[in-house]
Amino acid sequence: MKEKTTRASSNRRSAFFLLRFVALLVVFYVVIASRPVNDAVIVPFTAGVARVSAVILSGIGEKVSVAGTEIRSGAFAVNIENGCNGVEAALLFGSAVLAFPAPWRRRVLGLVAGFAAIQLLNLVRVVSLFWIGAHRPALFSASHTVLWQSAVVLFSVLLFLFWASREQRTQAAAAVGAHGPSEGR
């Protein structure tokens, strides 16, 4: 009987998480896809990603220039679009963190740290894809569509699971502290 109740409550928690996750994803999508937010936030942010990537590419010996969201060299040019600026992975991560039951302060800390980590990996992705496009063009399409997009999204899922496990640990420790050590056995 108790096991049935536990299973039902776990199913409910799981379903509520998924519903909140999907609802948040739709809301965030509507916000970032709206023209004012796209023009005032997403495009300048993407241009920033292009500039930082160009600095790194220059550091490794590539002669590149930047115009808006486009990075170009004599051999290759790439335009960073939505889907390649790390915002899509951040959207997934942010929706999962906000859908997960946790105190707001730790959610915000998780969001900030996760966003920074995703953007760091995305810089590696943009720089490596530009290098591949310039020096191994035959590998660009598969690297761009399948390898890197999947890797960045898997990374954001792993980040979420890591954050959620830490969160569970904190909650478990707090529960044991509140009920006394014998309650947790």
Partner 1 sequence: MGRPKAAEPPAGTRLRLDGRAAARMAAGFAAGLALWFAFAAPYDQTVAAAAGFLIRTFESPAVTSLSAQSGEIRVDRSDFPPASPRPGLPAADLHFNFVLLVALFAFVPRPLEPARFLRFWIAAAGLWAIHVLALVFQVESVYATRLGAWSEAHYGSFASNLWAGGFHFYQIAGRFAAPFALWWLLVRPEIDPRRPRSEKR
CA distances to 10, 88, 153, 164 from 28, in Å: 27, 10, 17, 21
10 binds partner 1 (CB under 8 A): yes
41 binds partner 1 (CB under 8 A): no
Half-sphere exposure of 130 (CA within 13 A, CB side): 32
Q: Which of 1, 3, 35, 59 binds partner 1 (CB under 8 A)?
A: 3
92 binds partner 1 (CB under 8 A): yes
Instruction: Find the part of the chain contacting partner 1 (CB under 8 A) among 11-19, 50-58, 68-76, 127-135.
Output: 11-19
**Residue 79: strand pairing partners:** 70
Rounded distance, CA 5 to CA 11, Å? 10
96 binds partner 1 (CB under 8 A): yes
Instruction: Find the part of the chain contacting partner 1 (CB under 8 A) among 45-53, 66-74, 115-123, 176-184.
Output: 176-184
The CA radius of gyration of the chain, in Å to the nearest whole number, is 21
Compare residues 52 and 164 and give the one whose CB is closer to partner 1: 164
| Residue 72 CB neighbour total at 10 angstroms | 17
User: Looking only at residues 107 through 166 of this chain, which bind partner 1 when binding is defined by CB under 8 A?
Assistant: 141, 145-147, 149-151, 153-154, 157-158, 161-162, 164-165
